Amino acid sequence: MKNEAIYILDFQKTDLSKFDLVGGKGASLGALSGIDGVKVPAGFCITTEAYQEIVRDNKTFLSLLNQLTVLKADNRKDISEISAKIRKTIEETPIPTSIRNVIFRYLEDSGESNAYAVRSSATAEDLPTASFAGQQDTYLNIIGKEEILKHIRKCWASLYTDRAVIYRLQNGFDQKKVYLAVVVQQMIFPDVSGIMFTADPVTSNRKVLSIDASFGLGEALVSGLVNADNYKVRDGQVTDTKISAKKLAVYALTDGGTKQRGIETNLQKTAALSEPHILQLASIGRKIEKHFGHPQDIEWCLAGDTFYIVQSRPITTLFPIPQMHEQDNDGVEPRLAAPHSGESSLRVYVSVGHQQMMTDAMKPLGLSFWLLTTPASMRTAGGRLFVDITPLLATPAGRETLVNVTLGKSDPLIKDALITLIKREDFTKSFPDDKREAGPSRNNQAVSRPDYQTLNEYNSTGGPAAMVSDLIRRNQTSVETLRQNIGTKSGSDLFDFILEDIRQLKKDLSDPQSFGLIMTGMNASLWINEKMDEWLGEKNATDILSQSAPNNITSEMGLALLDVADVIRPYPAVVAYLQAVKEDSFLEKLDQFEGGKESRGAIHAYLNKYGMRCAGEIDITKPRWHEKPTTLIPIILGNIKNFEPGAGIQKFELGLQEASKKEQALLERLRQLPDGEQKAGETKKMIALLRNLAGYREYPKYGLVNRYFLYKQAVLKEAERLVQAHVIHKKEDIYYLSFEELREVVNTEKPDYQVINQRKEEHKINEKRTPPRVITSDGEIISGRYKRENLPAEAIAGLAVSSGVIEGRARVILSIENAVLEEGDILVTSFTDPSWTPLFVSIKGLVTEVGGLMTHGAVIAREYGLPAVVGLENATRLIRDGQRIRVNGTEGYVEIL
């Protein structure tokens, strides 16, 4: 027989290091018991060793468990049936005498006639990333040794409730590697009990502590039987109190068990806690949070004047606070200027991903390359990038720029969040404008509006259209030079070469001429929409005027894939082969089919021009189409099925005609107005600017992604050498290192796999997080709202970015690899970056959760003439795949029909 100490541990012998033996709840209670000033009801843990002793050789249990492990989370019927059989098996299995005797001895020492709480404590609960709260069972006020044994078996069985099994499946936990301990703890018979969050669970503000309280046992609150009081505490003061009508409470019975009881009418609206008690409890909460090192979800109860803590677990839903990254663009830690006199210490961060249309988590190497590339002051959190806009918010001019020119124009939800923040009394004090802070800072991604007339009159190089052509030629030459030179570099020389090239890339990206052209095109668009609405009552006129604009590398990419389909369409054997393709090496086998050589040539030509693109392309670690060409196969096959030959040029020509007709119609109407000739003349100039410059906005990012792909190929070549030398396990492991860490590994051939593996786990966690648009240094997420009236009933509001109204079948697609579209479908997705453009030729409308007026999806939707609504939060959950919907891209809302 095993040493009895392996089956039972009292709280004093338990802490977080015993997690595998006593589970999350037991480990937490042991740790809580060791904190000075925190009272925990006495008790002990029946360890996972006892549970394993019960099930280890139980053939019925093992057979059922094998059946359970092969099921998917959506197979609810089979999960329910098998889980019920497992629970019955465990509850009917007798506890071995050796374990019974140990339990009885502890109960005799503790007082066998006392009442106890018998609580499940799994090895997959109360984790920093998954709380598993409420997944296993708890039994209160259990009296008598045999009753306690019975409920211990019930706790073991509750490891296999339907909800617990499904939760584990959804979170990727192996059913065979999750064990259960049981906590047996002396009952407290409280006057009041509840839950305390040391960070506000609604706003995520780490400085606001939130307490829910109700009369009697906490069971009434946890099970939702009663509306609890809620108290908010900040900096040692109660800042908000909400008293609810508490009509019910759960109390312990003298002979065991619990019962609901009504509360007297005159007490229902009485505060459950006095202010001194609220502050005392808040102090205990902060002490517990400090001990564990992160915000906690704490269960507590009050008996007489004594607070008891019966559980504490990490709050797993909080998005991390953006932190200063380890290095800035030149390998040196960036330093923000100290706040000026009177400036709040609160910092405000805005998501980069919502501006770049890539809200997915990035791997460390991807973050590192972007930090090296961007001129902005960046911070990282949850695998995402954020810009610190605090210095700009500190001045009236800076706020005006952020709210009404840059961020506000591109994303109304960010605009509303910033306005909400600025209006607060406790926010940053205003400063008078001065030369140092009055204007926006390019380092904070804020921009001024250039005078379009100055650029329009600058004709020394032939005007804006010629300037665009010159910039594109210069970029192409620069990329080709990089392609020739980078292949000659290796080792440390390669990293020095890349750093030097990135410095040149940063200069190109911030080139005043290039930047001026982009802003001039954007301002021309804004001017036209404002003036046409004012003069003619016409909304969003530029949506049609922008169609088939020249030099738009992204829209050309979508049409070019139609041309690829034209090459393949005449060859049925090639089409059949592509329909069965699974491997990315499929191009090598195309020549065996009639038309295979021509088809391979067309795909190769496409990849040579656009193969560096992919979803989330600002993350250098993402697989490019050149590396994963199978991504394009469903789109090519869809084009073959849905379009006639020549569709690409036809679509482009149709866009040209629509834009020309719109221009002529507007000018004709303007000439009928007072001062009509002048208005028409101004508008014609602005339309020329729009047409000549709108497409160029897409080119700088195309140039950046070209360079990124060349960098990636070069560092992967180094990684391949490290794999061959058995220094690293596989080349993709380098994605979990920063640029400088990778350089160090290349030089020393000594990778730290503890760091690499830890970051792999962190990335899995980050992938599940939803990044906020705006977050403060207190961790508070500031959410914006659309403020619009007169929408149809149950319409879902978003931002109108491409006019028109269309009805059709919604296709909810989260990954471009899974995109199967019929012509006329409406694409509903989280976000679209340039890589999604080839899908736009097949759809007739677009709905995204993320985006703004000038983000890629909006620009291409206008160029293709697709009604589009973006920034529609939770669109992929509110709209189901296959539903018929109406998209109003003029007013900015979606209706489910």
Assign 338 to helix, strand or coil: coil
CA–CA separation, 69 vs 77, rounded Å? Answer: 14
Are 278 and 263 in contact, with CB atoms under 8 Å apart? no
Q: Would you call 645 exposed, middle or buried from its count of C-beta atoms within 10 A (0-12, 13-18, 19+)?
A: middle
CA–CA separation, 842 vs 828, rounded Å? Answer: 13
Q: What are the DSSP calls for 542-589, one per residue? A: HHHHTTT-TT-HHHHHHHHHHHHHHHHTT-HHHHHHHHT--STTGGGG
Q: What are the DSSP calls for 811-877, one per residue? A: EE-S-GGG----TTEEEEES---GGGHHHHTTEEEEEESS--TTSHHHHHHHHHT--EEE--TTHHH
Q: Cβ of 668: how many Cβ atoms within 10 Å?
A: 11
Say how far residue 3 (Cα) sits from the centre of its chain: 48
Q: Which residues of 196-225 are buried (b: 16+ CB within 10 A; e: fewer)?
A: bbbbbbebbbbbbbbbbbbbbbbbbbbeeb
Phi, psi of 251 (to 5 degrees): -125, 155
Question: Going by DSSP bridges, is the β-strand pair 868-870/258-262 parallel, antiparallel, or unpaired?
Answer: unpaired
Which of 389, 364, 385 has its CA nearest to residue 374? Answer: 385
Which of 631, 582, 589 has its CA nearest to residue 606? Answer: 631
Q: Would you call 457 exposed, middle or buried from its count of C-beta atoms within 10 A (0-12, 13-18, 19+)?
A: exposed
Which of 843, 839, 859 has its CA nearest to residue 546? Answer: 859
- Joined together, the tokens standing for residue 513 give 């001429």
Active site residue 763: no
Are 806 and 887 in contact, with CB atoms under 8 Å apart? yes
CA–CA separation, 650 vs 600, rounded Å? Answer: 24
Q: Cβ of 835: how many Cβ atoms within 10 Å?
A: 25
Rg value, the chain, Cα: 32
CA–CA separation, 807 vs 845, rounded Å? Answer: 8
| CA 458 to each of CA 429, 453, 517, 685, 866: distance values in angstroms, whole numbers, following the listed order | 42, 8, 12, 14, 34
Sign of CA dihedral 776, 781, 786, 787: negative
CA–CA separation, 156 vs 151, rounded Å? Answer: 9
- For residue 742, the surrounding DSSP H or E stretch is helix 739-748
Are 119 and 219 in contact, with CB atoms under 8 Å apart? no
Which of 836, 866, 864 has its CA nearest to residue 850? Answer: 836
Are 71 and 145 in contact, with CB atoms under 8 Å apart? no
CA–CA separation, 155 vs 254, rounded Å? Answer: 23
Question: Going by DSSP bridges, is the β-strand pair 843-848/825-829 parallel, antiparallel, or unpaired?
Answer: parallel
- Joined together, the tokens standing for residue 26 give 């037991």
Q: Which of 151, 277, 354, 856 is catalytic?
A: 856
> How far from each other are the two terminal CA atoms of the chain, in whole angstroms?
67
The residue whose two tokens read 């530029």 is 542
| Catalytic residue numbers, as ranges | 856
